[in-house]
Structure 1
Amino acid sequence: MSAGTLAGSHWLLLDVPSAPDATWRLQEQFAGVQAEVLFDDTELHGLGEHSPLLLDLRRAGGLVSLCHLDPQAWPGLVLISSASAEQLLAHLRRMLTVTLGLHHKALLNYYNPHTASYFFDGCDPQELSCWLGPISQVRWFGGTWADRAIGSLGWQQLTNPGLPVTALENEHSLSDRQQCQLQQCLLERHAWRWSRAIGRDYHLLWKRFQEGMGLGFTEQALLDDWLWLRLQHPDARPVPKLEGRSPREYLDQLRRAWQGGPG
């Protein structure tokens, strides 16, 4: 179903943290457009300068064109909804804070195009019906970090299945699959940043990341240390871990083995 066949108003949830200059451009080019600060009236209200902005595209026709012509300068989610502005804002604000497991709470930056590409892919039709709620359709220009590494970002589109579900709760719990998808997003972003920083192929670095995680180096500091070591010794083979050694001790064991020191 194309966006043009869906009834409802069009909105842009502008991902300000991904493009801080967008706020300035918005003020310069679309000064008359009312921008709703998503963090207002939430526990995140003190971080308003880092908040995404909800813009009514009916009042900014030129912005609609810019979103499509230069989507990376105006990142975020294009939403279609028949709900009132107040109803849509209330739902989007409920999506901000989620529960992980029994005792952990986190900010879900679903308005970021990369995060959206992982998070919504982790939803089954019932979950998607719940998370989208009054939103008929959501579109964004993005993809995975692997997609970005090879220059294959593109427009993504999801239509609300509209299944009968209960309304999204405050601090809604994430499913195991959703959590895995978000963890994958963080890991792949880390590998992408490494590839940019040292000028190495993303897929090679991701392969080395996976190898390190398979050896038990799951903490970021350890994973980074492993990667440095692995890049210095690309042809070395991991030696068996000595019994009782922690991941840090095992990494030191590998370093000594590959550098020719005593075990």
Structure 2
Amino acid sequence: MTNAQSWLLLEYRDDLPEKLYRLGENPDPYRLFDGTELAPCVDQSPLLVSVAENPSLMADFLAQPHDWAGLQIDSAQPLSNVLQHLRHILFIGFDGSRKGVLRYSNPRTASYFFPALEGGDLALWLGPIRRLSWYGATWRESADQQALWYSQENPHADQWRAIAGRKSFVLDEGQAQALQRQQTEKFLFHWWQQQSSLSFAEASSYLEEGMTSGFLSADSLSTYLAIRSDHRGATPPPRLPQGSDEVRLNHLKTSLERSATDKESHA
């Protein structure tokens, strides 16, 4: 079996070029957006750098993972195949006819998306990549102050062959849900950071309640979370009335205040 080569695919940051040329022996990076629909944004493209030619860079990536945002890519296939595949999976289809860009090189996105892949889907998305590794965390893991090394293995990488004219990959339900969970937990994390005594697990249960009750906008969900957090010992009503979000949220607040009063009077 051919030995794998390794690359770092690094997310663009303003200080990235300076770090590459300060720490790398021979950075000579490849810009991921070159030759794609994102070419107009090439100045902010993720950069692909050879590990073999930049051992000092790789050593810092492993020793100081908090200082880097990116992926380690191991593959026995030619660089041209790896680059072709990395550029191909940038563009995705979802919700029928909608199209988008998958920021998989961001460790946060990678921490949600790649673990959601199973079996044949994993081989399909990783393509010529034998192993994909990164240091990152979901928003929930960040709330617990946990970050870890993730790794995904693809035993079919060496048999992968490039196919000309391949269509964009389409997200299945599980993959779309994983990315939606990323956005939901991001919203919750930023709200939760402003709280003093509420655990992330409690906040998550309140958010799930609110979404199940039909609150979908950020403003309505923020208000729902605040009301539930302010009345943590009260029992919420089994259902909320029909009407606008404002009417329903006022009903929730009144019901929780009444529930708290009743509990105090029977204490």
Q: Residue 208 of structure 2 aligns to which amino acid in structure 1?
A: Q
Residue in 1 that maps onto 2:219:
221
Aligned match for 1:89, one of 71, 77, 83:
83
- Distance in 2, Cα, partners of 1:227 & 1:21: 37
SS at match of 1:58: coil
In the alignment, structure 1 residue 171 sits paired with structure 2 residue 168: yes
SS at match of 2:232: coil
How far does residue 100 in structure 1 lie from its aligned partner after superposition? 0.7
Contact preservation (8 Å) 1:9, 1:80 = yes
- Distance in 2, Cα, partners of 1:110 & 1:14: 11
- Distance in 1, Cα, partners of 2:257 & 2:18: 52
Aligned match for 2:156, one of 145, 162, 165:
162
Question: TM-score, structure 1 length as denominator?
Answer: 0.85
Q: Per-residue displacement from partner, 1:157-207 (whole Å, max 9, x unpaired)?
A: 111031878868442101100111111111112222223344553223222
Residue in 2 that maps onto 1:181:
178
Q: Residue 214 of structure 1 aligns to which amino acid in structure 2?
A: T
Question: TM-score, structure 2 length as denominator?
Answer: 0.84
Aligned match for 1:23, one of 13, 17, 41:
17
Aligned match for 1:133, one of 127, 133, 150:
127
Runs of 5+ in structure 1 lacking a partner?
none
Rg larger in structure: 2
Contact preservation (8 Å) 1:143, 1:154 = yes
Contact preservation (8 Å) 2:25, 2:54 = no
Change (3 A) 1:152 1:162: same
Change (3 A) 1:231 1:83: same
In the alignment, structure 1 residue 241 sits paired with structure 2 residue 219: no
How far does residue 259 in structure 1 lie from its aligned partner after superposition? 6.3
- Distance in 1, Cα, partners of 2:250 & 2:47: 47
Residue in 1 that maps onto 2:116:
122
Aligned match for 1:77, one of 71, 77, 91:
71
- Distance in 2, Cα, partners of 1:214 & 1:6: 51
Change (3 A) 1:246 1:259: same
Change (3 A) 1:61 1:166: closer
How many residues align structurally?
A: 253
Greater shift in the superposed pair: 69-78 or 49-58? 49-58
Change (3 A) 1:248 1:175: farther
Change (3 A) 1:208 1:166: farther
Q: Per-residue displacement from partner, 1:6-26 (whole Å, max 9, x unpaired)?
A: 82211001122xx54333322
Give the root-mean-square deviation of aligned CA atoms: 2.5
